[in-house]
A and B are shown apart, each in its own frame.
Chain A
Amino acid sequence: MVEPRVVVVGAGPAGVRCAEALASAGIRPTLVDENRRDGGQIYRRQPENFARSYAKLYGTEASRAAAIHSSFEKLRGQIDYLPQTLVWNIEGRNLYLVRDARHITLTFDALVLATGATDRLMPVKGWNLSGTYSLGGAQVALKSQACAIGADVVFAGTGALLYLVAAQYQRAGARVRAVLDTAPWSDRVGALRDLFAVPATLLKGLLLTFALRRAGVPVYTGIEPLEIVGTGAKGVSGISFKDSRGRTVDMECDAVALGYHLRPETQLADLARCEFYFDPATRQWLPQVDPDGRSSVAGVYLTGDGARVRGAAAAEKSGELAALAVLQDLGRAPDLDAMRALRRSLETFDHFARGLNQAFPWPSGQAARLSDDTIVCRCESVSVGELRQVVQQAGARESNRAKAFSRVGMGRCQGRYCGHAAAEIIAHAANVPIEKVGRLRAQAPVKPLHIATVQNADEARSNASVEGVR
């Protein structure tokens, strides 16, 4: 019997647990990851010559992190591991990878995408100044490089991560100037019932807030960011915001960490032609996925935060469940009770995720109030005003059309950090429901692809001469 070829993309908690479950069933999966080390983002590992303990690095998540890392170590001999490898495209059952300046094609029978998530951003005037980072970026600086992004950092946005990273900075001895949460306190109270679905996490969150206040860090809720102040030459020098009473507050700082929850990295799912649907609760497009992780494309599975943002603990279960679904679909009877238990446990995380969205909502209303001179697309330096202009004067009422006219989303990041806000801006300017604005269609390569990497001139010359005259 021919061994099925299963490829897992992403070596974070979902990908590792998925590969582990596949290996336990006698399959030797290929695990591809873009980073140099396993762990993904939340359990991102520090360089080998760093000395900080797990407790120092991961706080309350130390034992989970240690468990994931140790599981991965045990797994090494049972998988084909391709680190520092980018999956840049997919066609049918073929994956296109690049590693060490060389091109690789992998054919799969089953593909599990565990591609994780990045921060979801709403622009604020000045967010393109040097010294502004995503919350995730601020966390990576600390966790994996033992650096603070500045000497005097303001954390702004909303979500659990806002408090987590601020608390981590404070504990590490960095100066946290303030925490600015756009969500009003009342939203958090309203979400309590769903947040109680995972009481341990709720408690951790409350403790974090308490710890920050006790350390003297000002925590503001119900704010609206007005401007990150600074110059192009020197970067960030301060932040201006409206507090919950509508008063303008100006603060000095030399760095701002900004973020509003996470958004799944879905480019590969899109290139694999998975269907997407609009989620009104979070006002974003998500890939269709069944409770076990099956996408709308046979043989393609989506798991972890790359499918639905539910956090690292959920990602572990989701990864394992996706592996069992792969096995089931390959005709290898998996443990159905285990699948049922995993599904039930994931439902609990769904409740919690809903609660988080309710407690810390995406501030969609800010889009309409952004000044025309705010940059929306950082990569191409396109302003909100220019985007509104293509809606109002050139009639672009859909994301890809607006991109074609304004260049928003045409830059190196291909819409990761501007796409959601751009949709809100277009919807408001065109006076249409946001669902009608659609989403930016993913185009390969998933990340920038080095031209000299892929096929060199010698290969090209010999390939051409073999082809013969037309």
Chain B
Amino acid sequence: MSTGASNPVAVSDVVIVGGGIMGTSCALFLRRRGLTVTLVEQGLVGQQASGTNFGNVRRQGRPLMQLPLANRAIANWRRMKELVGCDVEYLQVGHVRVCYRDRPELVDELERYAREARTYDLELDVLTGAAMRRQFPYLGKEVLAASFSRNDGHANPRLVSPAFARAAQRAGAAVFEHTRIVNVEKDGTDFRVTSEDGRVFRAPVLAITAGAWGNRLSAQFGEPVDLTARGPTMCVSEPVPYSIYPSTGVFTPLEQETVYFRQIPRGNVIIGGGTRGPAYPDLCRAYVRPENTLRQLGQIQRLAPSLGRLNIIRVWSGIEGYTPDGQAVLGASEQVSGLFYGFGFSGSGFQVGPGVGETLAELIHTGTTAIPLEAYRMSRFAGSPAGMRREGLAR
């Protein structure tokens, strides 16, 4: 593997490695700030977690510390057409999370979260009994309470990252797909980013937004993260009359019970959640386990029994990167100046994506941001035996 010619393919203010929603939105926001940008992606933009996730665009249920970022993001979701120039099927039709009768204590948790979230401008209504049944007539008998976030919604993940990438390109960003980065290093004041086929990209700033592959790059700067790759269990029904508007899911401590669904105007019902499946970043493949689909479909009938009438026509998965504490690594590296991170969103990155991109761009451009990023520091993993045992780090 050559370390690259002395004539790099591209020199820019910023190189971004990883073309999911984080990287593509960051590219657009950097261009809007007048910085030159090169975005490199190993496959096609938005092909992994950003394109295969459930599509929830919701703040409800996020740990409170994520809400400033989520609020920034929602402002961008609401103006997506203006930002990227096309429809990404964002619908602000609300988000519902329910708890079951067998865990009545969860109603208190829903109500407590609703109170606390108010300080972050998230308005939630917790409904039970007849009022709940009237507003959400599709919920199963086991459902005890429903917390409704009227200003949340959903969008089509397949369209979003490619839309950001095209908008960034129209704004002057250079986007290279089928460009897998194998080596990153700082060479004087510049970062030198080398692809598998020997092309070199240089910039004084490097942003690593490479999802489940993020740690392979961060480790090269001595900042490994214990990332686990997992695949969401997804399926979709045939199209049926559009009648369920909010995205709906179960609030429960059990992973198997944590299922959710959303119907789109075309009529298909998308189902996600439950047990995740195996994902293979080396192969860029993730597989849905049939047992997981079966369990998921059993659980979805508890949440909304009428879905039992429908047929599912397709399952799919993708590759998501999970950190040990389920929070992303986001912000400036404390070890290497000019190095920024935005990966490890642990299956919850879609909604915050446009906020992450905007925040990273702001941070890169001005050196500061109003969004509190302490909880996302890479250095919280320093000193853990993280790097040593992860496969894919040793090369």
A–B contact with Cβ pairs below 8 Å: the answer is yes
How near does chain A come to B279, taking the closest CB pair, in angstroms?
15
Number of A-B contacts (CB under 8 A): 103
Residue from A443, A464, A468 with most neighbouring chain B CB atoms (10 Å): A464
Chain A residue nearest in CB terms to B275: A467
Partner of B313, one of A395, A414, A467, A470: A414
A103 to B294, CA, bound (A): 9
A412 & B238 in contact (Cβ 8 Å cutoff): yes
- A444-B293, A452-B301 known; A394 vs B166 contact (CB < 8 Å): yes
Q: Is A456 an interface residue (CB 8 A)?
A: yes
Q: Is B314 an interface residue (CB 8 A)?
A: yes
Partner of A445, one of B44, B142, B315: B315
Against A, the Cβ 8 Å flags (1 = close, 0 = not) of B132-159 are 0000000010100000000000000011
Q: Is B311 an interface residue (CB 8 A)?
A: yes
Q: Is A410 an interface residue (CB 8 A)?
A: yes
Q: Is B392 an interface residue (CB 8 A)?
A: no
Q: Is B222 an interface residue (CB 8 A)?
A: no
Query: Using a CB-CB cutoff of 8 Å, which residues 430-470 of chain A contact chain B?
Result: 443-445, 448-452, 454-457, 459-461, 463-465, 467-470
Q: Is A134 an interface residue (CB 8 A)?
A: no
How near does chain B come to A411, taking the closest CB pair, in angstroms?
7
Partner of A451, one of B257, B288, B297: B297
A455 & B314 in contact (Cβ 8 Å cutoff): no
Q: Is B255 an interface residue (CB 8 A)?
A: yes
User: Could you say which residues of chain B place their CB within 8 Å of the CB of A115?
Assistant: none
User: Could you say which residues of chain A place their CB within 8 Å of the CB of B44?
Assistant: 401
User: Could you say which residues of chain A place their CB within 8 Å of the CB of B295?
Assistant: 455, 460, 463
A412 to B294, CA, bound (A): 19
Chain B residue nearest in CB terms to A89: B290
B311 & A450 in contact (Cβ 8 Å cutoff): yes
Stretch at the interface among B19-27, B302-310, B329-337: B302-310
User: Could you say which residues of chain A place their CB within 8 Å of the CB of B158?
Assistant: 404-405
User: Could you say which residues of chain A place their CB within 8 Å of the CB of B254?
Assistant: 464, 467-470
User: Could you say which residues of chain A place their CB within 8 Å of the CB of B253?
Assistant: 469-470
B314 & A451 in contact (Cβ 8 Å cutoff): no
B257 & A456 in contact (Cβ 8 Å cutoff): no
Chain B residue nearest in CB terms to A444: B315
Partner of A449, one of B159, B307, B311: B311
User: Could you say which residues of chain B place their CB within 8 Å of the CB of A464?
Assistant: 254, 256-257, 299
A451 & B310 in contact (Cβ 8 Å cutoff): yes
A405 to B45, CA, bound (A): 12
Against B, the Cβ 8 Å flags (1 = close, 0 = not) of A295-319 are 0000000000000000000000000
Q: Is B371 an interface residue (CB 8 A)?
A: no
B256 & A448 in contact (Cβ 8 Å cutoff): no
B298 & A457 in contact (Cβ 8 Å cutoff): yes
User: Could you say which residues of chain B place their CB within 8 Å of the CB of A451?
Assistant: 237, 297, 300-301, 307-312
Q: Is A91 an interface residue (CB 8 A)?
A: yes
Chain A residue nearest in CB terms to B257: A464
User: Could you say which residues of chain A place their CB within 8 Å of the CB of B297?
Assistant: 451, 454-455
Against A, the Cβ 8 Å flags (1 = close, 0 = not) of B327-350 are 000000000000000000000000
User: Could you say which residues of chain B place their CB within 8 Å of the CB of A448?
Assistant: 238, 311-313
A411 & B313 in contact (Cβ 8 Å cutoff): yes
How near does chain B come to A299, taking the closest CB pair, in angstroms?
18
Q: Is B51 an interface residue (CB 8 A)?
A: yes
Q: Is B162 an interface residue (CB 8 A)?
A: yes
A461 & B314 in contact (Cβ 8 Å cutoff): no
Q: Is B289 an interface residue (CB 8 A)?
A: yes
How near does chain A come to B193, taking the closest CB pair, in angstroms?
23
A454 & B298 in contact (Cβ 8 Å cutoff): yes
A449 to B294, CA, bound (A): 10
B307 & A444 in contact (Cβ 8 Å cutoff): no
Top 4 nearest A-B pairs (CB, nearest first) are A460-B298, A455-B298, A452-B308, A448-B311
Pairs A–B under 8 Å by Cβ, sample size 23: A88-B290, A94-B290, A405-B159, A405-B162, A443-B316, A444-B288, A444-B315, A448-B313, A450-B310, A450-B311, A451-B301, A451-B311, A454-B294, A455-B295, A457-B302, A460-B298, A460-B301, A461-B302, A463-B256, A463-B298, A465-B102, A467-B254, A469-B253
Q: Hey, which bits of chain A sit against chain B, CB under 8 A? A: 88-91, 94, 96, 103, 394-395, 401, 404-405, 410-412, 414, 443-445, 448-452, 454-457, 459-461, 463-465, 467-470
Q: Hey, which bits of chain B sit against chain A, CB under 8 A? A: 44, 51, 102, 140, 142, 158-159, 162, 166, 237-238, 253-257, 287-290, 293-295, 297-302, 305, 307-316
